Amino acid sequence: MQHMDYLNELNEAQRAAVLHTEGPAMIIAGAGSGKTRVLTYRIAHLIRAHGVDPFSIMALTFTNKAAREMRNRIEPIAGTDARNLWMGTFHSVFARILRAEAHHIGYPRHFTIYDTDDSKSLLKTIVKELNLDENTYKPGPLYNRISSAKNQLITWEKYLSNDELLAEDRDMQRPETGRIFKAYALRCHKAGAMDFDDILLNTHKLFADHLDVLNKYQYLIHYILVDEFQDTNLCQYYIIRKLANVHQNICVVGDDAQSIYAFRGATIANMLNFERDYPDLKVFKLEQNYRSTQTIVEAANSVIRHNKEQLPKRVWTANQTGAPIELIKAVTDQEEGRLIAASVFEEKMQHHLRYSDFAILYRKNQQSRAFEDALRRMNVPFKIVGGTSFYQRKEIKDLLAYFRFCVNHDDEASFRRIVNLPKRGIGETTVDKIIVAANDHGISFWEVLQNASSFIGSRAANPVSNFVTLIKRCELEIQRKNAYEAALEIATASGLLRELHADKTEDGVNRYENAQELLNAIKEFIDDPERTDKSLAAFLQEVSLLTGQDEDKDNDPEKVTLMTIHMAKGLEFKYVYVVGMEENLFPSQMQLSSRADLEEERRLFYVAITRARERLFLSYALMRYHYGRLQDCSPSRFLHEVDARFIRTSTRHAGLQTAPPPSSGYARTLINGMRRTQRTTPPTPTHTPSPDFTPSDTSNLQPGMRVEHPRFGFGTVLQVDADTPERKAKINFDDFGEKTLLLSFAKLKIMP
């Protein structure tokens, strides 16, 4: 590429954002506006046109996949020097810093990184040790509570001194959460382990408590660029602000309209308040959408304008007008699955598309079943993104636990997993004795293991001594050999490979092949010529920091993609089906308690719409199974927010007359059968709740009372059934007719 020719590939707004290199900058990038190109060309321009040393540029992303794609675009412009960039996910870049500096905060260089399952397992152990009720203190809610605190820079010390947080715990009937948080944090530290949130929290702690270290990186890093800035949490923002404090060359790229991760700590406030923190900020707006048709872009605009908390912009496109958005109505969720599967089959055949051109997006994972069943019946191949990942399979986690413990002997979670795997006569009682002895004597359990006869008796000590010998032998292999050779030796010496190979069942063969695939991955890792560190510890760090998109290895071009909308962020498809567009499903019933929550759901819908390049389909069902009961549903409020000019109601219920002749008798039979079963549905009235609508206490609801429902409007109570485990009420609504509602879920206002 000739000197500066890459700038000719940019439009005027993109070029301005690339050329402005000094000082704080925010690039507000609408969906499909080429933000990745701008970010990568800005980095390439710094290196090529300004001679900036790549070692002084830090580029932070949210997936390793995004980082790889950016690096691949930069190298053809800036050369192989671009490999020296500090580029990767927040967690991978900060873990790199912590590897070098962890000793300042009392961690070993080769600290273990716990994944979510490891963390939940440790929390479960702590709850048991504290003799707390395991049904009250479940690992999932505990993990989420602790994670949320850490993302807001709240350590266990601050948590225990915060009366408001402790009061919330008491209100949730979990008053011991703070004590569990403390035990969890101390156990992780003792084990030389950090969870994902600790990587951020400890980087912040490192910079806050050790100004010499902060100063070192402030002068080392001259330019900071942040992708998907709207998805950052408070901790991430504070770290990058500290790092940028000397040179002030911080460029953030994002779209406030696509901020959809509040549930994991992200805060749109970082983007909305950026100008306040940097008064000299230069703002660039990328408003031209290159991805979607005019219909899709304008429909997305009509939805997102209902949000009050947003940065002003007007996304537009020079693309063709495109087909209207198709609204598909189904009677039940099963019929919704059949209609969507038939539509995919029809559109694929009629327009000569590939199955990989199609995506079905839903709000919750469990919605996938109806579409899986329907696609299977149509012989349409599909893949589900976000299911059980390769690295979460038991046999893989077992092997990784062996590798981790051989690298870090203080890793309690890995020790518990492998100490009797394969069985070697070390039971739970012995393990508990080892942990108790370590705690009582204030030493690591590895020291207890090495002197087992002094702590747990000679009878139990023999198999423990054999285990220690095995680990020491494997440790020597790690020191002498590369990651692949060491991993193969550990997998063999531990007996795991032998045990997996001995199981000749279909599942057993699959597990053994998975183990071999892990070894293949390690071989690929050491064969990469760009890697300087080919140690097993380096491989373990990379694996522990993989993200959902990084793990999607299914690149079969002939499969329809099924995934949640959250998983679809950053992706695009020719044809997109957004399904389950019903009130209390999308928007989720859990997200209706505040305007901020509802606006986040609306941004999620905006993200779903803008994944589509050529065609968009929206669908809903009038009835859906919920906890084993078929319940009435009403169309999502979001459907009414899409400008009616862009929507066409589907006639698919009338048959598939426009489809080409099916390619097989089997497919023809399926389609004809679906034609017979599909039905039309009458138009559904809507209701706007009263301005002062507030749900009433329905414990004394009586027949004859007038009530208001947020979706069904006004009605008269006909019957209240209190003899069942869950109280139900039959109500005759003025516009919707009779409906039976569960009072534990229904939001009713009793009229005076």
Give the residue numbers marked as catalytic.
Answer: 35-36, 227-228, 258, 611
How far apart are the C-alpha atoms of 101 and 206, rounded to whole Å? Answer: 8
E strands along 43-181, which residues?
57-61, 86-89, 112-114
- With the C-alpha atoms ordered 392, 394, 398, 401, is the resulting torsion angle positive or negative? positive
Q: Residue 596, Cα to own-chain centre: how many angstroms?
A: 20
Provide the phi-psi class of 157: left if phi over 0, else alpha when psi is between -120 and 50, else beta.
alpha
Would you say 746 and 709 are in contact if contact means Cβ atoms under 8 Å apart?
Answer: yes
State the Cα–Cα distance between residues 611 and 607, nearest whole angstrom: 6
Looking at the DSSP bridge assignments, the partners of residue 591 are: none
Between strands 358-362 and 560-564, the pairing is: parallel
Residue 395 CA to residue 312 CA, distance in Å, equals 50
> Would you say the C-alpha torsion 613, 619, 625, 627 has a positive or negative sign?
positive
Which residue is listed with tokens 């819908």? Answer: 605
Q: Who's near 20: CB < 8 A, 6+ residues apart?
A: 282, 284
The closest alpha carbon to 184, from 109, 129, 263, 107, belongs to 129
CA distance 140 to 166: 19
Buried b (16+ CB within 10 A) or exposed e, 211-237: eebbeebbeebbbbbbbbbbbbbbbbb
Rounded to 5°, angle at Cα 678 from 673 and 683: 175
**CA 636 – CA 736 distance, rounded (Å):** 16
Nearest to 749 by CA among 722, 731, 737: 731
Burial class (CB in 10 A: 0-12, 13-18, 19+), 302: middle
Strands 713-721 and 706-709: antiparallel
CA distance 449 to 408: 14
303 CB neighbour count, 10 Å cutoff: 21
Categorise residue 352: left if φ over 0, alpha if ψ from -120 to 50, beta otherwise. Answer: left
Sequence-separated (6 or more) residues with CB below 8 Å from residue 252: 25, 26, 27, 225, 226, 229, 271, 274
- C-alpha 457/C-alpha 436 separation (Å) is 14
Other Cβ atoms closer than 10 A to 504: 8
Distance CA 450, CA 121 (A): 25
Q: How far is it, in rounded angstroms, from Cα 517 to Cα 519?
A: 5
Write the CB contacts of 225 (distance below 8 Å, at least 6 apart in sequence). 39, 42, 43, 57, 58, 59, 60, 250, 251, 252, 253
Four-residue CA torsion sign, 488, 494, 498, 501: negative
Residues with Cβ within 8 Å of 321's Cβ and at least 6 positions away in sequence, in order, are 293, 294, 295
